[in-house]
Amino acid sequence: MPVFMEHQDSLESGNGLPFIGLSDNNCDVGDINTSLPEKFLLDEADSYFDDIISCLTVSRMVSDSVIKGIVNAIEMEAAERVASKEAEILALNKRLQLYGSVVTKEDQLEASTKMVEPKKAKLSFNQHSLGERPEVSYIAHISESELKAQDYLKKLKGGIKDIRDTHLLSEGKDKDFCRVIDQKLIVIDGFADALQKVLALMHQQLGDTCLSLKNLISEQEWQQNFQIEINLIVLQNLIMEHQHDFEAKVTKQQILADTFTKNWQNTVDHLSTMRQELDDISSSLLSSEPGQALSDLAKMASQLKQLSKDEQITYDKTQTAEMKRQHESVLLKTIDEVFSLGRDYHKVKKDNKLLRKKIVGFISTLDNILLENEKSSIVQAHQNMLHILYQRIDLLLFENKQLKIFLTDKAKEVGSAVSKIPNGLNQSTHRPHDDDSFVHRKEFKMYLEDLESESIIRDKIHETILRELIGELTLEMEYLDLGYKIEHDLCITLCAEYIKDAISSINPFIEKHCKERDSLAAVVAEREKALSLEMEGNKQLKQEKEMLLKFIEEKSKLLSETEVKLTAQKDLHDKVNSLIKKTCWYKQGFERKSSDLQKAETEVDLLGDEVDVLVRLLEKIYMALEHYSPVLQHYPGVRDVTFQIVSFFKYDIF
């Protein structure tokens, strides 16, 4: 349009007399002073072609940089998405390692059950050592004390005999003293015999008490062994039940982990397909590079430099005529393409409305499925299992209380039996006795007290062991319950974060495409306006050309009449020269206009290519949605694709 305005100014300065065809009709007049316009035209043509080449190189560099920037941005987004997904894969691998640690805990529990058996053997050995060795030592001590007492009695009797023998030797000296000594010796013999009888009776009583104690101790040991066996059986049953329950939980968790890994593999495959599609898009964008226009222009410039001035003028005339025809044909084609694209655009809008309705229904069905999955049957089964285990623990505690009551009754019976034994010993101790028998009786009492304390300590040890085992089992069950709840919450949070990250990573890509689409639509509208203006300008140029042709015909008639008067009409000659210059300038303006039209045609072609690329991309997306529609019903993990499409249509990408 600025060139057209310049030519209008030139026409106005020439008093409305644009002779465009004067050089062709009147060559004799133009040959007088043609050197100046030809030089001016050639210089302007060279400078103009140089400007065109520089503009094309700049436009090519700009388009290449823009395309490379778009491709780099797409690659960066894809790399960021892949890095985020790899980080999620590492987190899932850590979770699988946690599942492996749970399996190792099961092995440790089996090892702890194996370690219980040597502890049981140690307890039985200690009970045996505490129950049998004091009894044997006590019986041996009684026998030793009896032998010592008999030795002392023998020594006493031997001493009495020695005293009597010495007394018989000394009877003649002092008779009164001898009588007194005889009486005392008789009394001492009587005491010795009585002491021997008392020792025999005490030995019998102690033997009876030892037998009764043996029976009591044997009964107590039998009860303790029976209690230990019962406790061991109860513990074994409890440990086996917990082991089976733990194995069942571990198998269920392994099944859940396998399903989770399968779903994750499916999501990874889907992401790989998306990355391949992005690579295809980037390759398609890189493939469209305008590179032929520069080579053609370089060839044309080299050919024009080789031609002479007259040949260049004729070549310019022929090229202008061909360019006019080509421009008109290209304008018609572009107009038809623009209208066809408008019709296709309206059709795509109608199809997109239907797709939006279908996608909204599909999203509602997916939400219902997710709400149903939240009320999963796995949690209910886990709660039922825990309720059953708590009931079993209550039953075991009730049985333990009954066993404690039974043991307290038996302990009372043993205490009553032990209380009877010292009463019999006290009745026998009213008689005169020696210091050794008193010491033995005290030791026997201490021994009985030790037995009672040992039995009490054993009972307390068994109670503490049972309490610790039950506490450990309850803690393990609570730990498993908490671990399962934590893992369930982690799975839910990870899935939600994964969906949010996928949506957030796809939204900027969709927004970019929406902005590009809006910019392309604006460019297309501007080009349509420019084309309409160019068409109006061409119509005006045609009308002006017709007027100029008519005017030139009239002037040619006048010139034919005034050829004789040329010598006297120098002013007219000067005017003719000025008109010739104006016609040259007008030709130059026309050529610039035609070059501008060629630029517009190339830009329209580039825009058409970009529109074709976008249409192909939309067709790929539509075919992908139709292909994966039956799979979406079985894999809720593909929800991110649906959200992509929904957000895509929300921003009116079409």
pLDDT in tens, 533-546: 878 877 887 787 78
pTM here is: 0.25
Q: Residue ranges of the domains in the chain? A: 2-650
Do you know the residue count of the chain? 654
The sign of the CA dihedral 96, 98, 102, 104 is positive
- Structure confidence by residue, pLDDT tens digits, 272-323: 565 555 555 545 544 444 444 444 545 555 666 666 667 767 777 777 778 7
Concatenate the DSSP letters of all residues of 147-190 into one string: HHHHHHHHHHHHHHHHHHHHHHHTTTT-HHHHHHHHHHHHHHHH
Whether pLDDT at 56 is above 60: yes
pLDDT in the model for residue 431: 42
Query: HSE on the CB side for 601, CA within 13 Å?
Result: 17
pLDDT in the model for residue 86: 74
pLDDT band at 603 (very low <50, low <70, confident <90, very high): confident
Integer Cα distance of 274 and 641 in angstroms: 10
- The CA R_g of the chain, rounded to the nearest whole Å, is 61
Quote the mean pLDDT of the chain: 65
Q: Give the E-state strand segments of 240-304 in sequence order.
A: none
Q: Is residue 60 a contact partner of residue 294, using CB atoms and an 8 Å limit?
A: yes
Cβ partners under 8 Å of residue 281, min gap 6: 74, 617
pLDDT in the model for residue 317: 74
The predicted model gives 97-116 an average pLDDT of 48
- Percent of the chain scored above 90 by pLDDT? 0
- Structure confidence by residue, pLDDT tens digits, 185-194: 777 777 777 7
pLDDT band at 5 (very low <50, low <70, confident <90, very high): very low
Integer Cα distance of 30 and 23 in angstroms: 6
Concatenate the DSSP letters of all residues of 433-498 into one string: --HHHHHHHHHHHHHHHHHHHHHHHHHHHHHHHHHHHHHHHHHHHHHHHHHHHHHHHHHHHHHHHH
Task: Enter the DSSP assignment of 638.
Answer: G
Integer Cα distance of 294 and 55 in angstroms: 10
